[in-house]
Each structure stands twice: as C-alpha cells, then as structure tokens.
Amino acid sequence: MSGCPEDVEELKRENKIETSYPSNSIAESAPKAPISSPQLRRARTLPEVLEEGTRSVGSGGIEAARHHWNKLRVGTKGGPPGQENPAFSKRPVWNPNEFPLEGVSLSSLKQFLREHEGQLTGRTTDEVCRGILLPATAATLSSYTELLKSRGEPVAKATVFVSHAWRYPFCDLLDVVLSLEKTELKPEEVWVWLDVFCVNQHVVAERTFSWWSTTFREAVRDIGRTLVVLAPFDNPTPLTRAWCLFEIFSTVDTGAELELRLSSDEELAFAKALRAGEFDFNQWVSKVNLERAEAYNPADREQILQVVESSVGITALNTKVLAVLTQWLTVQARGLQTTQLQRSKSRRLSSGTTLLELGKLYQQQGDFPKAVDMYRAALEHLCSQHGQAHPGTLAVMLRLADLLKEQSKLDEAEALCRKAMQAYEDLEGAAVGGGDHAQGMLECVNQLAIVLKKQGKLSEAEPLYRQALAGMIVMHGREDILTIKFIQDLAHLLKKQGKLDEARELYRETLEGRRALLGDEHPDTLSTLSTLSNLLKDQGDFEQAELLYYAALEGRRAKLGDRHPSTLRSLNHLAELFLRQGRLSEAGELFLEAMEGRKEVLGGNHPLALQSMHNYAVLLCEQGHLQRAELLILEALEGRRSEFGTAHVDTLASIHDLAILRKRQGKADEAEALCRQALMGRQSLLGEDHPDTLASTNELSLMLMDVGALEAAETLVLESLAGRKKLFSKHHPDVLTSIHSLARLRSRQGRNVEAEAAYWEALEGRRMKLGESHPYTLTTRAELDAVMTRQRDAIVARQPSTVIAPTQLKQNGAIPSCAISLGVSAYLTMNTVKEDTCCSFATSSPLNQVCDEVLAGLLAASMVDQSEHSELASGVGDLTRLASLP
C-alpha cells in the first residue's frame, strides 16, 4: 500500500511542483490541506477544467493532477470565483476519523481491465491513478469504489487488504490480486481493499498518527487478511518502506492473516534465478529491517518506530516478518522441488543444478535434512549425466560434504572431499594458481581442511588452510568475498590452536571485508561478529565480547529466527561468557534454551547438542548441583566418544570437566586419573602450550596439592603460570587462576608470606576483571583471609617470647625471629592490604598489645648499630607506622 512515487519526489527536487506530499495511498497521504487554485480571471466550465486536468496529469505527477481536480471545487461556472462550486456542495465527504472498509469484487477488477486494456500496459499504479482513476472520478470527487456503488455495482465489506508499492506495474498488481480466483473456494465472496480504488484520491484529509495506530490497525484487524505483493522478488520494495512494514506489523499484531504473493512473471523470474544459482537467501533477509525502512515524511517514520517499539519491539517485528518470508519461500521452494524431482526421474538436464540450489536454500534456512536430500538427489542426477569428474558434480560433492560436516558425519564428509580432490587433480589445469578448475580445487582443499579441523586433526589441517588461502589471494586478491571466507576459516583453526592474537587479526579483517561487501546485517557478517566475540571472551576481554555477542544474537534472531542453528550458537556463546563472569543464573537460562533448541532442531546426538549438554553440566557443577551435573556430563561424554573417539578436543573437554566433578564429589583417585588422561590427550593433540592443555595442567596441580604431593604440584603450577603468561595479559582470568593456584600451593607449603603476596595479586586482578561478587573473587578473598588469620594467630601464640629486655637485645645484638616476622608482616600489610583491612589488623586487641611490647624492645635495641641489622631498621619503621594506625 505504501511507497512514495519516485516521480513526485523528483518533481519536488526539480521545483516542478509547488508542494509535494507522500504517497498516492491512504498510508502516506497527500498535502495537509486541499490546494487552492490561484484567482481566476473568469469562471471556467466543468469540461474546460476536466480537459486541462487530463492534459496535466501526464507530466505533473499525482499532486499536479489533484491540484487540477480541486479546481472543480472553486472557480468553475455555477458559482463566483474562489467559492466552492454548488454542483459539488452535496458531495459526500470522508470523515478522517473513519476508515472506508468497503472493497471491490474480483469481477469489478476484471471489468476495469477490460475497459482500459490498451491504457494499462507498461503503466505503474501511480500512472494509472493519475491518468485513469482521477479523471474517471472527477465529476463526483469520490473514490472509485464510491463511483461503482453509485452506478449500482456491488461493493461490500473488504475481506482482503492489499499491501503494495505504487511504482511497480499496475498489471502485475492486478495479476496477483486476480490470482485469488484460482485459490479461493468462493472467489465471488472475495472483496478487495485496494487503496487506489477504495481511498478518495481527491480528498486530502488530515490524519493524526493516533489515527494510524488505532483506527487503521483496527480496520486491518476487521478485514482479517492482508495480501502483500512482493515486487520485485529479489528486492521487494514493500519490505523497504516503513508504511508497508507498519501494515505488516498491524496484521501480525492484531492477529490477522498474512499472505505473500508474486505475480506470474515474478514467479517465473524467481524460479529461473533459483535454478541458475542467482538467488541468495542470506542477502535477501539482510535487507529487511524496519529501522532502515524509508518513509516520505521522516516524522511518520519516527512515529512508526515509536509505536512498534512500544508494542512488540522492532527486533520482534523484523523476526515475525522474516518468519513469514521464510515460510513463504519454503512453500515456493517445495513446489519447485517437486517439479525438479520429477524432471530428475526423467533425466532432464536442468534439474541437477536446480536441486543443488534448492539444497543451498534449505541449508541457509537451517533445514539440514531437506538440504541433504536435495544434494544427494542432485549428486545422483549429475553423476548419471556427466560422471564424477565434472565441475557441476564436484560442486555438489563439496556442498554435500560441507553439510555432512555440519551434521557431524565427518567420515563421509572427508571421503567426499578426498574423492573430489582426486577428481580435480585428474582434470586438466587443476593446479593451484591456474587452469579452468583452479578455484574448484582450492575450495575442495579448504573444505577438506575444515573437516580435518572438526575431526581434531589440527596439524594436518593447517597446511591445507594456508595452501587454499594463498591460492585464492593469487587468483582474486584479499578483498574477494570467497577469499574473505577462507581467511575466516584459517582464523577458526588458529583460535582452536590457541594462537589467539593471529586469529584476532584475521577475524577483524574478515569482519571489515564482509561489512563492506555484504552489509552489517548479512548472516555471514553476523557469523564473523559472533566468532570474534568468542575469541575476545577467550582473551578475557569480557566487556567487549558481551557487546558483540548481543549484536550477533539479536541480528541472528531477527534475520534467521529463534530456532536457526546459528541463533542457537549465539545463545550458547553468550551463556559461556556469563559462566566465565560468574553470572550463573543468566548463563543457566541461556544454556538450557540452547540445549533444548539444538535437540529439537539438530537431534539429541548432534555434536552441538552435546556441546550444550556439556556446558549446562559444567554450570550445574558450579552451582553445586552435582548429581544433575553428573548425569548430563556422562551423557555428553558418551555421545562425544561415540561420535569422535577419545582423541578429540571435545571428548577431552568432557573428560577434563568430569575430573573436576569427581574432585568435588570427593573421589580424589578417580578425579586425578581422569585429569591425567585429559592432560595427556591434550598434550598429544594440541601441544604443551595450548590454553586447554594449560587448563588441565593447572587442574592436576590442584588435585596433587589436595593429596599432599606438593613438589609435583609445584612443577605443574609453575608450568601452567609460565605458559599462560606467554599467551595472555597479566590480568587475563586464566593467568589469575594460575596465580591463585600458586598462592594455594605456597600456603600448603607453609610459605605464608609468599602465599599472601600471591593471593593479593590474584585478588586485585579478579576484583578488576571479574568483580567483587564473582565466585572466583570470593574464593580468593576467603583463602587470603585464612592465610592472614594463621599469621596473626601465630604471632599471638608467641606473645610471651616477644617481651624481651632491652639489655638482652643489647648484649646479644640479636633480633628475635618473631619480631622480624612481625615487621615483615607489617610491611606486607601496609603495602598491599586495603586500608580497612590494615586498620583492623593493627588494632585487634591481642596484636595491638604484642606490637607495643615488641616495639619497645626494638626501640631499645636500636642502640645497636642498625647498619648491621637492616631487618631491625625496617621492622622499627614499619612497626612504628603500623602501631600509629587508629
């Protein structure tokens, strides 16, 4: 319905019309008041005005036409100049507080086509309104529906509201509307509300926005069904206009039925594009966004956004519109699929490519089972027609391998990739960097690398990734869209290998490239945004990661829907971040939603479903729900072992976390054995310096501490700390974890001064990085308090020995060890402890007494040469400051 005619806007810019106003439709209505003609020298007859108006409409646009038709109301024969023509004084006036609900019949539309057959070809709806409808209704200044009614032709309450754009061919519009004859059980009972017919195009009524948000929406609800005319199919204009989206919003929000249709010509064009591989679902959905939709009047657009945001919200509206589009597209594809499968059975040559493109469409929509069916049918067809060593056949092989990889059917995917590689090698000119089939060969190499990475064969995958990327750069440069995909694929591997800095640079390059070529809201751009945020989380940049996670999640929800695998992946990633931040309640809700969604969409044994199951189990373990956690983590472990075997990164992750669970259950021996298994597996698969390996190293050191194997534990904790410091900044959460582990070790060794210093370092870092209330921060603080309490109690216990006569100190020239310990403690306290802690430490009554007595002895001993006793000098100064604290 909406859409400001481009010619009106152009005329306004060229100053060919005095005042312009949006739309020829009810939604984007004309000027705020009727245009008055200038003072006329003489009164003109009605035929003269009609003739002048008819001449003007061809060049002046809809506003110029309305300007002339308004002259019928003033200055014509039958009344003095400047006054309304008495001939029209009884003309019905449409009340702007009401909505014209009467519609026209399909038979009336067909009759209109017959009457004006030679005048409609090639004309837009705007041109038909100016050239035909305005002159036809000029005598009554009414809508066309009102004119039909005055002639005794049937009109009735509308049953179908039509939403369309005015700048596309009018014949295509009627072609869509009249297609209802073929699909309705009782077409004679269909009454069409089409603005160009049902709205009085002569009257310019003032309509407030509250009218649109109440009266208009109620009318859409009362009509009960909205038909959106998509034109053109590859970039439907109605989906870029704010008023059209508002009409769709009103339909969805009021519970009315929403339907999308193409004209017969557009249906043929869509089928042709799909067969030729020229239709991109991701690109299609990326264009739908109410926030970027246009309206002739910017104020209207802002008010539309305000109304939608105060109701379902802009994101929810985008999601609902895209859900309808996806459903419609699926219906169209299934119809084409049936036709092509029939052709495939008769070995018609065109069907193989079409089945491939249908498979791509289903895959982009997240419907993997249907996509696999299409790829397999296409592969069978093309193999029978051309054999395996044919570019078309090989393209289907790679697509099928990619989808099988997504379904975790990795052995079959690898076999297909290797078969395709061999076939490419047999084709002439398949060498990297040249030949007709070079790009296909590079895609095959890259796809095999992806499968190997999924299998955990990282060292085998890396040279293939680099080979494929180098070849693509030679062929197309770094800014080509396929090269950019290869760059991201290599970044995935580097992240998996723990080479986070290099991966981060490649992710940023990918993001910039995709934003430039595809736009911010394209699903591929959102994919890069999600992976970059995941890497930032691994690097400890939680704040930035959260911002990007939310952007990726909301974008995917809007473009792909709540149950698309990519949306569920974003949910899982955000939950992982919340878990790291200690936001356990929020993490639990998202993990559960992701797990249930993946089970529903992908199946309970899919690797991504197992991943969500594993993550949820880890969360339950953190919350202390050990029994529930055990059931889930064992199920995830069994599923991963069955799918991948033991020597796989995912399986080893489950073994590692099962070890932690066993430790918390008090099963120390089993926990240690599992942790050693995870550590050895990660060392072999990922290397000594991989973040996952270092995590197992640190965890094993803690288990060894618990059983008193402090020497072995020290080796491991120092190894973990050194490795993590190489990989991360000093305040990275993993580095702080290792520092905390070192502090715990020093405490167990009785080296309390070193333990206290390490605890303070871990505490300050965790406070800064994780916050005061994070469980890890609270754990560090509790262990630090315990160490400080032990030191204080030890000093109090030695209180009698601290009362030393000055003469003894002078005679012996010695300083009691307890005094030196107290001085060191004081030094550490005043230089590292927060002021409130320091004060309470100094003024606790037993310790305060000790300080007084020891200080007295130290002061007396100061007669000794302090240059020979630096500890004494330090102790005197520190204790003096400590004792002086309030």
pTM of the model: 0.57
Record the tokens describing residue 349, joined without a space: 């040559």
CA distance 436 to 394: 14
- Residue 191 three-state SS: strand
Res. 820 pLDDT band, cuts 50 70 90: very low
Mean pLDDT in residue range 464-488: 95
pLDDT of residue 341: 56
- How is residue 217 written in tokens? 């929406």
Which one has a higher pLDDT value, 297 or 550?
A: 550
**pLDDT value at position 203?**
72
Is the model's pLDDT at 805 over the cut of 60? no
Alpha helices in 184-313 (DSSP H): 195-198, 209-211, 217-223, 242-254, 264-275, 281-286, 298-310
Give 780's pLDDT tier (boundaries 50, 70, 90): very high
The H-assigned helical ranges of 71-208 are 106-115, 117-120, 125-128, 134-136, 144-150, 170-178, 180-183, 195-198
Q: Are strands 102-105 and 191-193 parallel, antiparallel or unpaired?
A: antiparallel
Starting from the edge strand earliest in sequence, which strands make up the sheet with 225-229, in order? Answer: 156-157, 102-105, 191-193, 160-163, 225-229, 257-261
For residue 464, report the phi and psi dihedrals to the nearest 5 degrees: -70, -40
Q: What separation in angstroms does the CA of 688 have from each of 83, 151, 649, 694, 745? A: 94, 90, 14, 7, 22
Reported as a single tens digit per residue, the pLDDT across 155-192 is 999 999 999 888 889 999 999 999 999 999 899 999 99
pLDDT in tens, 620-657: 999 999 999 999 999 999 999 988 889 888 999 999 99
Two domains, one topology: 387-477 and 684-792: yes
Q: Of 240-244, 598-602, 715-719, which one has max mean pLDDT?
A: 715-719
What is residue 518's DSSP assignment?
H
Class at the top of the CATH hierarchy for domain 684-792: mainly alpha
**Residue 230: band (very low, low, confident or very high) from pLDDT cuts 50, 70, 90:** confident
CB neighbours (10 Å) of residue 16?
Answer: 16
pLDDT by residue (tens digit) across 372-400?
A: 888 888 888 888 877 777 888 888 888 89
What pLDDT, on a 0 to 100 scale, did the predictor assign at position 503?
A: 93
> Tokens representing 644?
């991948």
Contact 223, 193 (CB under 8 A): yes
Q: For 387-477, CATH number?
A: 1.25.40.10
The reported pLDDT for the residue numbered 494 is 92
Q: Provide the residue type at 123 as one letter.
A: R
Reported confidence tier of residue 823, pLDDT bands at 50, 70, 90: very low
For the chain, the residue count is: 886
Listed range (51-60, 98-107, 724-733) with the worst mean pLDDT:
51-60
Q: What is the pLDDT of residue 356?
A: 75
Q: How far apart are CA 11 and CA 31, in angstroms?
A: 15
Are residues 366 and 566 in contact, defined by beta-carbon separation less than 8 angstroms?
A: yes
Q: What is the largest CA-CA distance in the chain?
A: 134
Q: Point out the least confidently predicted range of 106-110, 373-377, 676-680.
A: 373-377
> What SS3 string covers 688-743?
CCCHHHHHHHHHHHHHHHHCCCHHHHHHHHHHHHHHHHHHCCCCCHHHHHHHHHHH
Q: Which amino acid is at 515?
A: R
Amino acid 886: pLDDT? 41
CA 636 → CA 154, 564, 631, 661, distances in Å? 67, 22, 9, 14
DSSP state of 522: S
Residue 2's φ and ψ, nearest 5 degrees, are: -85, -175
Domain residue spans of the chain = 6-88, 387-477, 684-792, 800-883
Of 232-241, 496-505, 583-592, 642-651, which gets the smallest average pLDDT?
232-241
Percentage, residues of the chain above pLDDT 90:
40
For position 45, what pLDDT does the model report?
A: 40
Question: Is the backbone of residue 224 left (phi > 0), alpha (psi -120 to 50) or beta?
Answer: left
Residue 165: name the closest of 94, 257, 263 by CA.
263
Specify the pLDDT at position 231: 81
For range 750-756, the mean pLDDT: 92
Q: Roughly what angle, to the nearest 10 degrees, separates helices 438-454 and 481-497? A: 20
Q: 79-93, 611-625, 758-772, 777-791: which range is least confident on average?
A: 79-93
